[in-house]
Amino acid sequence: MDVEKRLATEMKKKILIVDDNPINLRILADYLEAFEYMVLVARDGRSGIEKAQYAQPDLILLDVMMPDIDGFETCRFLKADETTQAIPVIFMTALSETESKVEGFEAGAVDYVTKPLQQREVLARIRTHLQLRELTENLERLVAQRTAELETAYRHLSRLDKAKSDFISIMSHELRTPLAVIDGYTQLLEDNTAVANDEEAQFLVDNILTGTQRMLRTMNDIFDVTRIDHDFLRPYREPLVMRDVMDEVYIKVTPALQKRNLSLVRIGIDTLPQIQADKVLLPKLFYHLIGNAIKYTPDGGQIRIVGQFREASKASPAHVEIMVEDNGIGIEPKHLELIFEKFYQTGQVNFHSSGTSTFKGGGPGLGLAIAKGIVQGHDGRIWAESSGYDEETYPGSRFFVRLPVEPSAA
């Protein structure tokens, strides 16, 4: 008993008893006060509601059968009031029918005790629900604290991300101009060395030109990603024929294909209907997808570009679907979403080769992020599929692009 009193004293909890029977009130109040609970009493539902509102008890013992408004109605009123709705209510009832018990729970009670009351049972149920409420309140405080911490961290990360994007944008602008100048003068040098027939100078100039052009491509990619991040990517839509888009891309990737002895097969592209798209951004989209396939396909492999037109349905409007498929090393399923995030690398960066078209060649990890941004800018969808990653069996990867087709074009 001493241990029980000490525990109750430490809690210092307030119990409100609502009962129209003064004998029941007195007996139950004396019993609970013996355990150092603060006990408040009310003789009817209305006064019980008033005391609950101003005293804010930790728990309410509520009789069901009372004059004026009964316990069910009293409980419903308490649960409808924001100031009292969190207070647990235990019904005291002589009713044993299941319907009455269900009505009590539907009114908002957490438990019930049956009259005639067994005092030790009442005490046990009080303690259980006070502990549950305390645990709930502690959990709510912890959740609120963690939520506030996460919001603070999110705001901090947002500021850092904006600062990073601003820095990248500024550096992209600052570096592109001098690189363009170097590229221009290097091309002039290349022409002069060709005329002079100086093989050593020609070799040096060719390497300078290769490096500056690669840096320019990287700067342009960074500029594109910055526009996507800031939602500045605004496609200028005009009628485009997919065959012409693929022809343009093919010219750009041909040197890499020849260097790696890769074949590029086009299926169904020539019969696709016109789409409304940006004539600069769309070739860039497929340049990045095909470039990605080139990187991760071994020498002598094959890349397939397959186009299909799909009629409008209940699930989706009319669209063209273009698949870029390779028989390369594949992608682990856990990476299929992440690969479209900027700067994401699926392997260890230190082991990547530095060439942009060599097998598993390195790069800043921007191509697929740009592709995703371009597709979304055209109200389309992009995703990847692969059975897994294997550098011996080469399961390959498939990248799908869906772009809407205007009804008149279809």
Assess whether 196 and 294 both reside in one domain.
no
Assess whether 249 and 363 both reside in one domain.
yes
Q: How many angstroms separate the first and last alpha carbons of the chain? A: 85
Assess whether 246 and 348 both reside in one domain.
yes
| Structural domain includes residue 143 | no
Assess whether 274 and 327 both reside in one domain.
yes
| Structural domain includes residue 410 | no
Assess whether 376 and 284 both reside in one domain.
yes
Question: ∠224-230-235 over CA atoms, to 5°?
Answer: 55
Q: How high is the pLDDT of residue 106?
A: 92
Assess whether 20 and 61 both reside in one domain.
yes
Assess whether 197 and 102 both reside in one domain.
no
- Pairing relationship of beta strands 14-18 and 319-326 according to DSSP bridges: unpaired
- Pairing relationship of beta strands 381-385 and 397-404 according to DSSP bridges: antiparallel
Query: Please, what sign has the CA dihedral across residues 232, 236, 237, 243?
Result: negative
Assess whether 244 and 218 both reside in one domain.
no
What is the rounded distance in angstroms from the CA atom of residue 314 to the CA atom of residue 223? 38
Number of domains in the chain: 3
Q: Which of 117, 138, 172 is the last residue of a domain?
A: 117
We report the CATH number of the domain holding residue 68 as 3.40.50.2300
**Residues found in the chain:** 410
Assess whether 302 and 381 both reside in one domain.
yes
| Structural domain includes residue 137 | no
Q: How high is the pLDDT of residue 315?
A: 80
User: Which residue segment(s) compose the domain that 69 sits in?
Assistant: 2-117
- Burial label, 271 (beta-carbon count in 10 A; 0-12, 13-18, 19+): exposed
| Structural domain includes residue 136 | no
| Structural domain includes residue 305 | yes
Cβ-based neighbours of 269, under 8 Å, separated by 6 or more: 242, 243, 246, 305, 307, 322
Question: ∠276-278-279 over CA atoms, to 5°?
Answer: 110
Tokens at 209, concatenated: 């030109």
What is the rounded distance in angstroms from the CA atom of residue 289 to the CA atom of residue 400? 10
DSSP letter for each residue of 96-128: --HHHHHHHHHHT-SEEEESSP-HHHHHHHHHH
Q: What is the reported pTM?
A: 0.54
Q: How high is the pLDDT of residue 127?
A: 93
Q: Which of 229, 251, 285 is the last residue of a domain?
A: 229
| Structural domain includes residue 154 | no
| Structural domain includes residue 339 | yes
Helix, coil or strand: residue 380: coil
- Tell me, rounded to whole angstroms, the distance of Cα 243 from its chain centroid: 36
Q: How high is the pLDDT of residue 121?
A: 93
Assess whether 168 and 185 both reside in one domain.
yes
Question: ∠363-368-369 over CA atoms, to 5°?
Answer: 100
Q: How high is the pLDDT of residue 156?
A: 87
pLDDT in tens, the chain (410 residues): 455 555 544 457 999 999 999 998 999 999 999 998 999 999 999 999 999 999 999 999 999 989 889 999 999 999 999 999 999 999 998 877 777 788 889 999 999 998 888 999 999 999 999 999 989 889 989 999 999 999 988 888 888 777 766 776 676 667 777 777 787 778 777 777 666 677 777 788 878 877 777 777 777 777 777 767 666 677 889 999 999 999 999 999 999 999 999 999 999 999 999 999 999 899 999 999 999 999 999 999 999 999 999 998 888 889 999 999 999 999 999 889 888 887 766 555 444 444 556 777 666 678 888 899 899 989 999 999 999 999 989 999 999 999 999 765 55
Q: How high is the pLDDT of residue 385?
A: 94
Assess whether 314 and 365 both reside in one domain.
yes
Q: How high is the pLDDT of residue 33?
A: 92
Assess whether 251 and 388 both reside in one domain.
yes
We report the CATH number of the domain holding residue 348 as 3.30.565.10
Q: Which of 205, 229, 253 is the last residue of a domain?
A: 229
| Structural domain includes residue 257 | yes
Contact 59, 88 (CB under 8 A): yes
Query: Please, what sign has the CA dihedral across residues 215, 216, 221, 222?
Result: positive
DSSP letter for each residue of 130-168: HHHHHHHHHHHHHHHHHHHHHHHHHHHHHHHHHHHHHHH
